[in-house]
Structure 1
């Protein structure tokens, strides 16, 4: 008997070890998946994958090796930092055609080609209600200005008014186009028979009917000032005085049928979209055509949008271009970038950003002032049909044929000032007091010499020009006291300039010139913070011995510095250098993919002390943190790395650039890092990212995806509980009662992926193939699948025909258990996922909750403590979703001495 028990124990131990190995393998696969998704611009999906990897790493009995943990942290940091998609609203069964924010930005109405309208809570992603009743496509959705009423119009000429609060239908009207008056009291409807009806929203009664049309009308729209415009099938537009019911102006002259009309924000201009792809602008006051904006590329126009100030008009459609028109001048800028038809354009409320969406499944954000593309938001699987900014401009909603509505977080981008220069600059440096800015010229034309310009930061005026270099100026640096400026160029000269003297004469030459001893190609120059040393780096592709850092002692006078050392050690170009704040160390970044630290302490010969390796391409930039404890480096490998100077270990890697990073700059307090790529500038909160632990990153990530996990109907049940216990309320472990509830041990079983079965015949399956029937004489052992006649399914370990060991039991009802089994019963450690949204994780005995466990309810409440016979029984804490908690002794599911509401019997 003893031998039998020992053998069983050995088998169980081996199985447990194999399960741990499988768990670590799964964690690695999830981490790889997160990194691949991130590289594919699917940051939201990358965040979900990295959170899953991080959570499962907590379940590994022996933890994960340091390299894998670092990879998990890096993947989670990348996703947390770069995720823009804030939520996914899924639930429509057909393509989503349009989205509309309520005036307060709290609700989102979506319409679908199947006639379904859904209302969503923008903050949480909750689907609040579904509005049914249409048998044909809904072609118009509009909130009243107060947000209390939603009007929807359909292709079968039915308009329905809905109470947004209750979801009840208020009234049904005839028509296919709707528009609310600015005060929300009147609703105008247009119909195919040419009738325009004005309705009193309060009573639901018709106020008057406008009969001027002689044929079918297409659409009606109110201006912000209350003027009503209607489109006539023969190409005319009529402007109505709603108070009198009289036509004020008739706009004629269109040579083609009209598709749509749009008022400018001030109501002074009306834009009409024509079937010939042109746009006509009208002066509303006098009814005169201002101009026609031709569409030279032809193609159907799908969307038109005025900027909030009414100065710009964006037009997009079939030709894959966005035409950005200046209303006053008639000038046009074409914005190119989409690869398929563009179906929606929308300006942000402040007018700074233009958003566009197309059939290429992308949303692009453009700088409305310059026409430059700021960002591309990807994540939809199929064509995007509509986009809309929230009123505060902080979010963007997009609707797609993939049946999802995505909410995106839009980060603010502000430019303070632009300094105009007649030639291109390659380097900039602020004086220590921040009053002056030095900019160098990178490109030399014919006989022109390289120059440096000094700018007054307060007035933005040029105050001096420094001349003398006759080649590419690569770097400039102010001395610690701001009295001197050093510059290096590819002419082999280090020039020193007296800043005060140069400002006084406006144009000046260098006060001193130093000759490079390591070739002409100088790349970087820096003063030590204590004013003791001047360092200059070299690069030389043909002569590796010239890839050095030269040091001068400047305590002897700036006009007579003394060379003291030439530092050799890099095997390729030295691209940049940086002194530590205490001036005792110098860091150098090289094309040889390394960073070297040099000891330049006073009183001893300078020498190499450390080499930092980790980049996979040339290192371009390097900079010490203000406290000197960290080092930041940037590389052609598109990453930024933070290093611990004392240990030479890498702290974290920042990703996000689309190409190699040319320059980096740390703010004086070390909180912000600016990194410059070929066409992009990124600001990083370095301290926040580098100081976040894995647990804090998980909290950040879970806070971001909590709405999606809780409310999205397509979320897998196991994923729905991904963040349980992470972003929810946790008890104060300093409490003597709370500390008496021990943490749950890691689960010994990892959920296996169910193999697809060749048939649904009840019986045993092995490796996905039919193995045998349910006959009692068949007593299989090993890893098998058992399919029951009821539709239940078990995947896991068998011993002599019974479920023993690790496995997954999936009920036909939708419930699922993952964990340990003994003689066909749940026994040991496991998780039980209920179809009602409850999750139990902990100890089981003979199929019931027994021992220590944690029960998470569908509403977010969590009980952690002791259980008996499926009930909370013993010492435990009930943590409510509102942040409060109930701790004490529990009996049969109720808190001893508590109120009737203090119960976990649900």
Structure 2
């Protein structure tokens, strides 16, 4: 193959305030999984930089759970579809698909023989169903609730028992199979968010928005005790996870803590404090072998440290929202990837190991439209908060002073030599030098969409919505129109000079990329066709002979400048989402990103 997927840096879980997030564990203990948008993300628990993404759901997925056999995963989405798919093959073949009810699926549970599945949620005609995994035929009825069911679990030893918990402040107990409703437990005073059986089946626990956790007998459903007495947590409890030996459990709460309980002693042995910000509320947890994981409202995944409860062993960061732009930079011999998302967050990744973090301090407060690295090792970024920021890549800290406020929203930023940057704003061009505005050009007579600065300095190219490229010369602190325009087939979407300045590539909405030869007075060199929808982004390879393009059609093309017919096509590079950013780490490694909030590295062989 001329291309191969080398690495996937996965998105974080998509979080919602006051809604618990289910994080599933693989029975062998190697992986954990969660959902973000239409994706199910599977990550290695020891090395979370190793990730796999399942993207076959047409709607947002809310929950995914491994079968106890470990061979299949069941995932459920907001439309009520359940997909059961293979975990052993890379292409995750679909085994079965069912629609137990129409509406959100909020939780899934399997019986220990991997033969029966219970699903619950927010259906129109019912809130849950239990069925055989291979035929979809019903093995009982989930009744007894008057509101949305939030959680379900099945005892993993015979005789089987099933418990559900709901927004009607109750839990319901079922015997089976076929599962029949036995009775309701109404010990909680508010919504019941989670129910989980211990692995040995002797007990189950329920957690509620009232901050309480109750323990019950796994076989009879009799109440044993309220964990921690009157209140287990100061805030609502959103998730529970038992230790493999059934002696302890962890609980995640909106009070920004996770507690580790000794069940027999009815005491919280450890309280993990995970911050003071609203985004530090804990909405999910998982006990997997010796790992204790929790998920914050920010989407960060915390590996808890029993020896130091105030500081996690590690925190997985990244993006939980759509990524809009991408760039790369070498720093002290190491390659880094920088990505900006629609919540204003900029993340940096070590391209080799996948370790990542965000800049410290206060950054953009809204969508990051474009980022680039200038000659002074600064990340130049522009956002919908009407600011242009210059951030030192050595300090990795936002500076309150190195930002330029602009009057109209910037769409695009381009960097050039000698401290110059060009901001393309709505109806306006701004030339910046040494982090300061030095020239503004209004009343252009066209709507600018994209810009590029020649690497040799002296020239700025600006692409318009009128399908023309306007050339300006940079004279000291001014931009002067050269009176020369280049024609392309449609409104310009992105443009870039090759690294040696020999070519200018221009992408447009009419699915064409036009390359102009700079030395020959910007004569048309070649036109490149192949995309089925408008082209969004371009990036030149370091060898200046190839460039990549990404489009609304989810395709990435790799082109050869001198031969428009010689191309490599990567279909479905990010399935279900268009390509939003491209960059080259070296001549054979392309980085792509998309609104699925993940980053992929591809090895390319020309």
Matched, 1:228 2:161: yes
Equivalent position of 1:142 in the other structure: 65
Equivalent position of 2:549 in the other structure: 835
Check whether the contact 1:790–1:812 (CA below 8 A) recurs between aligned residues: no
Shift of 1:350: 2.1
- Selected match of 2:272 from 307, 312, 335: 335
1:372-771 mapped onto 2 (5 Å cutoff): 373-377=311-315, 379-380=317-318, 400=320, 402-403=321-322, 702-704=351-353, 755-757=422-424, 769=441
Larger RCO: Structure 1 or Structure 2 (Cα < 8 Å, ≥ 6 residues apart)? Answer: 2
1:6-25 mapped onto 2 (5 Å cutoff): none
Check whether the contact 1:820–1:826 (CA below 8 A) recurs between aligned residues: no
Tell me, in whole angstroms, the C-alpha distance in 2 between the residues paired with 1:242 and 1:258: 23
Shift of 1:184: 1.7
Tell me, in whole angstroms, the C-alpha distance in 1 between the residues paired with 2:272 and 2:355: 36
Equivalent position of 1:186 in the other structure: 116
Tell me, in whole angstroms, the C-alpha distance in 1 between the residues paired with 2:294 and 2:470: 47
Tell me, in whole angstroms, the C-alpha distance in 1 between the residues paired with 2:249 and 2:422: 55
**What CA deviation, in whole Å up to 9, does each residue of 1:205-261 have, x standing for no partner?**
2234366x3755724311222533223667664544424645678766556653321
Tell me, in whole angstroms, the C-alpha distance in 2 between the residues paired with 1:800 and 1:254: 74
**What CA deviation, in whole Å up to 9, does each residue of 1:5-60 have, x standing for no partner?**
xxxxxxxxxxxxxxxxxxxxxxxxxxxxxxxxxxxxxxxxxxxxxxxxxxxxxxxx
Matched, 1:172 2:99: yes
Equivalent position of 1:131 in the other structure: 57
Tell me, in whole angstroms, the C-alpha distance in 1 between the residues paired with 2:16 and 2:253: 22
Shift of 1:144: 3.4
Check whether the contact 1:313–1:326 (CA below 8 A) recurs between aligned residues: yes
Tell me, in whole angstroms, the C-alpha distance in 2 between the residues paired with 1:834 and 1:795: 26
3-state SS of 1:179 partner: strand
Equivalent position of 1:783 in the other structure: 459
- Unpaired runs of at least 5, structure 2: 1-6, 87-91, 324-330, 338-348, 357-367, 374-415, 433-437, 447-456, 475-480, 487-496, 526-542, 551-555, 572-586, 590-604
Equivalent position of 1:198 in the other structure: 130
CA RMSD, 1 decimal: 5.5
3-state SS of 1:822 partner: coil
Matched, 1:160 2:96: no
Tell me, in whole angstroms, the C-alpha distance in 1 between the residues paired with 2:428 and 2:142: 68
In structure 2, relative to structure 1, the CA distance for the partners of 1:815 and 1:264 (3 Å cut) is farther
Tell me, in whole angstroms, the C-alpha distance in 1 between the residues paired with 2:485 and 2:171: 79
In structure 2, relative to structure 1, the CA distance for the partners of 1:819 and 1:178 (3 Å cut) is same
- Selected match of 2:288 from 329, 349, 357: 349
Tell me, in whole angstroms, the C-alpha distance in 2 between the residues paired with 1:98 and 1:167: 22
Higher radius of gyration, 1 or 2? 1
Tell me, in whole angstroms, the C-alpha distance in 2 between the residues paired with 1:91 and 1:371: 23
Shift of 1:379: 3.5
Give me the TM-score of the superposition, normalised by structure 2. 0.53
1:889-904 mapped onto 2 (5 Å cutoff): none
**What CA deviation, in whole Å up to 9, does each residue of 1:765-806 have, x standing for no partner?**
9955269889xxxxxx95343546415465778999699994
Matched, 1:811 2:506: yes
Check whether the contact 2:171–2:184 (CA below 8 A) recurs between aligned residues: yes
Check whether the contact 1:831–1:839 (CA below 8 A) recurs between aligned residues: no
Check whether the contact 2:258–2:271 (CA below 8 A) recurs between aligned residues: yes
In structure 2, relative to structure 1, the CA distance for the partners of 1:334 and 1:99 (3 Å cut) is closer
Higher helix share: 1
3-state SS of 2:353 partner: helix
In structure 2, relative to structure 1, the CA distance for the partners of 1:288 and 1:772 (3 Å cut) is closer
Check whether the contact 1:794–1:807 (CA below 8 A) recurs between aligned residues: no
- Selected match of 1:324 from 257, 260, 263: 260
Shift of 1:266: 1.6
Equivalent position of 2:198 in the other structure: 264
Equivalent position of 2:539 in the other structure: none
Higher strand share: 2
Check whether the contact 2:549–2:558 (CA below 8 A) recurs between aligned residues: no
Matched, 1:309 2:245: yes
**What CA deviation, in whole Å up to 9, does each residue of 1:156-194 have, x standing for no partner?**
7x3433545345872211275532212221122446777
Tell me, in whole angstroms, the C-alpha distance in 1 between the residues paired with 2:471 and 2:353: 35
